[in-house]
Structure 1
C-alpha cells in the first residue's frame, strides 16, 4: 500500500478532504497527461492509432468498474449531466408520465427531469429521511411512473441506497432505473448487472481521481436504440473512419452517444487514474474509505455541540460525513478549516468532509485537532 500512497504528492500541510467535489490527481495521471502533451509538441498526431488503444483500455477499465456486460455498453461523455440529458431527452415521453427522484438530489439529477414538464411529465420528489428510503421510493411508483432516477449516494448526507433492492423492485413494476453513481463509483464497488439498472453515469473528477471534462455513461444494450439521439457527427457512426461512405447509421454500441472528437487528453489521465484503483482493488478502496470515515465520525462525536448529518450505519454511507457545530456559524467553521489548509466544502447546512483511500492518518488527526480547538 505504501507505493500507492506515494502516488499523491500533495503540498506540505495540505489536508485534502474534498474528494466528493474534485479530487487531486495521482502522479501517474499527471505523468500520462504530461507525456501526451510532450508527444503533441514533438510528433503531433503521428501516433493517433496508439491513442485510440488507450481509449479502448479506458473503456475496458470502466466496463470492469461498473461490471457492465461489454465495452459496447460504455460511452465516454463530457460529464454526468450530459449523460442524464441523453436519457431525459432521448426517451419517448407521453403527457402524464411520471419520474420519481428524491428530495436530496444534486441539481443535475433534478433539473434535467423538471425540464420535461412542458411535455407533460410530472416529477415526484420522495423524502429519504425515514428508516426505509427504498420502500418510500418504490411506494411512490404508480401506474404512470415511467422512470426512477436516484443518486446511489446522496451528495450532502452521504446516504447510501440499496440500489440492488431498488433495481429488483423497479423491474417488478416495469419502471426504468437510472442511477447517478458519481458519489459511489471509485469509492465503493458498483455492479450494474446486480442493480439491474438501465442507465448509470458518473464523472471522472471525483472518486475516480481523474480530470474534469470526461465521464462515463452506461446504457443497457436493450435500451440503446430506444433513446432518440440528440447529437450527430463522425464519431458516432457505425462505420467510423470511413469518411467517403455516403450511407450511414448510428453505431450499434454506446459509442452512438459520442458525436465528435474524443477528449484525448482527459482519456490519458483518467485511464492512468483507473489503473491505480484497479491495482488497489475496489474492495480494498471501499474498506479503507470506511475506516477513514469512521475515524472522522468518532473524532467528531467527541466535539461538544456536534450535529452529524450523515448516516451512522456503515452500510448506509460511502465516503461522505457532513456535520455542523451548535453555536458556530458554518461559514466561520469553514473559514477556520480553510485557514489551516483543510480542503472541504459547505453543503446542505453543514461542512462536508470526504477522505479517499490514501488519506493519511495525520490529515484526519490534524483536521480533528483544528475542530476541537474551535469548539473549545
Structure 2
C-alpha cells in the first residue's frame, strides 16, 4: 500500500479526513487533466477519437467496479441527483403508489421522491434506529409499494446496510430496488448483481477520488426501456454521429440517459483515479479503510467523554466514523479541528471523519491528539 502514497502529495500539516464529502485527487488525475489541457491549447480537438477511447476505458472501469453485466448498463451522468431524477421522473407512477426510504437519507434521496407528491405518490420514511433495519425497511413495503430507495451507507452516521438482504426482500415483494451508492462505491467492493438492484448511482468526487460534475448511473437492462426520457439530444441516439439521419430513436444502451456533449475533462480525471483504485484492488482498499476506522474508533474510545455515533460492528460501517464530545458543542469541536488543519465536517449528531486507504498514521494520531486536547480543557 505504501507504494501508492506518492500519489497524494498534500500540503504540509494537512490532516485530511473528509473523503465522504469531497476527496483530494491522486497525482495521476492531475497529470491527466494537465495533459488534456495542454493538448487543447496546442491541438484543439484534433485527436477527439483518442478522447473517446479514454471515455470508453472509464465505462469499462465503472462496469468492473459495480460488477455490471455490460458497459451498456453504464451511463455517465452529472451527479447522483440527476440519476435519481431519471428514475423518479422516468417511472410510470399511479396515484396511491408508495416509495420507501429511511429517515436518515441525504436530501438528494428524499427530495426527489417527495417531488412526486403532485402525482399522488406517497413517501414512507422508516427509522433505522432498530436492531434489524433491513427488516424494518422491508416490513414497510406493502401492496402499494413500487420502489425502495436507500443509501448503501448513511451520510451522517455511517450506518452500512445489508444490500443483498434488501435486494432479496425486494425481489420477493416485487418492489424495485434503488441504491444511492455514493458513500459505498470506492470505499468497499460493490456488486449490482449480488444486490439484485434495479438502479444504482454515485458521484465521482468522494471515495472514487475524482472530480465533481461526473458520476455513474447503473440501470438494469430490462428496465431501461421502461424509464420515460426527459432529456433529448444528439448524444443519446442509437445512431449517434449520423447527423443527416432524419428519423431517430434512443440508444438501446444506458447512453440514452446522456443527452448531449460528454464531460471529457471530467472523464480524463476520473478514469485516471479509477485506474489507481483498480491497481490497489477494492478488497485491499476496503481492508485499509476498515483498519483506519478501527484505529480512530479505538483512539476515540480512550478519550473521556467521546461518544461514538457509528456502529462498532464492522459489517455495519464503511469509511465514515461519527462522534461527539460530552460537554463540547459540535461547532466548537469542529472549529478546533479546523484551526489545526484537520479537514472534516459536522454532520448529523456529531463530527464526521472519513479516511481513505492511503491516509497516513500520523494524520490519525495527530487528529486524535487534538480531540484529546480539547476533551481535557
Same fold (TM over 0.5): yes
Identify the residue that residue 24 of structure 1 maps to in structure 2: 24
CA contact (8 A) 2:157 2:349 kept: no
2:236 partner SS: coil
2:246 partner SS: coil
Q: Structure 1 residue 303: deviation in Å? A: 1.0
1:85 aligned onto 2:105: no
Identify the residue that residue 320 of structure 2 maps to in structure 1: 320
Spell out the pairing of 1:1-376 with structure 2 (5 A cutoff): 1-376=1-376
TM-score, structure 1 normalization: 1.00
Counterpart CA distance in 2 for 1:372 and 1:161 is: 31
Deviations 1:60-84 (A, max 9, x none): 0000000000000000000000000
Deviations 1:148-193 (A, max 9, x none): 0000000011100000010001001000000000000000000000
1:319 partner SS: coil
Counterpart CA distance in 2 for 1:3 and 1:356 is: 15
1:248 partner SS: coil
Most deviating of 63-72 and 299-308 = 299-308
Counterpart CA distance in 2 for 1:165 and 1:83 is: 23
Counterpart CA distance in 2 for 1:28 and 1:144 is: 49
Counterpart CA distance in 2 for 1:41 and 1:369 is: 47
2:75 partner SS: strand
Counterpart CA distance in 1 for 2:372 and 2:182 is: 31
TM-score, structure 2 normalization: 0.99
Aligned residues: 376
Counterpart CA distance in 1 for 2:135 and 2:332 is: 38
Alignment gaps of 5+ in structure 1: none
1:178 partner SS: strand
Q: Structure 1 residue 306: deviation in Å? A: 1.2
Which contiguous aligned blocks of 4+ residues in structure 1 show a shift greater than 3 angstroms?
none
* RMSD (Å), alpha carbons: 0.4
Counterpart CA distance in 1 for 2:334 and 2:175 is: 42
2:64 partner SS: helix
Q: Structure 1 residue 3: deviation in Å? A: 2.3
Counterpart CA distance in 2 for 1:138 and 1:159 is: 17
2:352 partner SS: strand
